[in-house]
Chain A
Amino acid sequence: MKKGDSLLKMVISLGVITCISAALLAWVYSITADPIKQAEREKQAEAIKAVTPVYDNDPIAEEDDVMPVGEPAPLAVFPARRNGNLVGAAVESYSSDGFSGEISVMYGFDINGNVTGYEVLNHTETPGLGDKMDEWFRDSLSTQRNIIGKDPAKTDMKVSKDGGDIDGITAATITSRAFLDALRRAHNAFIQYRDSEKR
């Protein structure tokens, strides 16, 4: 040990470096916080627009939390209205049964509960396998895969392997199950929201 390497010097140098790093991070955070929030809001708004029927209100401003029966956590519902009448909604749903962690998907429904679209928001599924879900379930050429236009109340939203009506992603059955699990959850929340509004 050199004489210069006293305990005090070590503490001070490490302390100074940590402080400079913290200051730098705080500064970068302060200038990026707003653009990050903006980017996330835009992503959410785009997803809502992509999945719901045409609307003329601001679904994000009317966001409502719905607690589906028997669920641990509420889901965010973004109602779409035309001339003040409810025409459908986007529901941000999730499933924790993914192949590697939680998946979060925005589903859109029309007033009758038919699926009008979906956008995968977040997932950590295997690249090349499970991450195909963002296209797989809206393939208009395959009625077995496509969920758009189907009513989860009438269609058995399970993969065909489990006796359902939907063909899961090849080699990614677990991801497919999680995706449909999230869809059922979103549908329940939407029906509950719609029925509570009627009353």
Chain B
Amino acid sequence: MKPGNPFVRMGHATLEGISRLGTATRFLLQILWRSGTSWRRFHLIVREIYSSGVLSLIIIVVSGLFVGMVLGLQGYQTLRTYGSAESLGVLVALSLVRELGPVVAALLFASRAGSAITAEVGLMKTTEQLQAMEMMAVDPMARIIAPRFWGGVISMPLLAAIFSMTGIYGGYMIGVRLLGVDDGAFWSQMQSAVDLRDDVVNGIIKSVVFGFVITLIALFEGYDAVPTAEGISRATTRTVVTSSLAILALDFVLTAFMFKGA
């Protein structure tokens, strides 16, 4: 059997994929198992919330504002045709809270914080810092990986909420201040259309899931990287590509489960 046989290659790729998936699952279980230390030494998690949450704040706020303002402009154009420009608040708030908030914030988070995590962990592996820690009887899983994981999981929903809120404020600025939609109608129609459990809580659930997935992918790619300069660059690229695809696919699945028939 020649190794160039297409069936051989296909089988090899399939087995490779399954084995990576299995390794990633074991990786996740190890993170959860060793998380106790990082919760007891909470400042480790605080530091990671700083690097993945606080440092992502600027890009999240600015993009949220612009996305909201564009929604305000575009929505106004269409709604005015049907004489219902007052529904602008509903359009802006529902699209942000349900979809754009969690998804766009997650995409930004993956490229801003996820890539940084992969590069950092990958470089630690390449320069053999992780092995050095093991030799000093410090568990790198508990000291390096788990705090980064929980930092990302905690930061993501907060960032998504900030994104939605600044977006709604951007839509308000454009709709009410610039285009002259009635102030009271904007907020009251929004409040009557947006449901706390069906829209807001489901949006938060989405962003928690995204935070979980992005941080796991980023950490795994870093931990699993080929320990060379090229390996790190490839791992970083894979983090951004894989987590973006995972976000979009998961968003579809979660939406299909959450908003059925409504």
A binds B: no
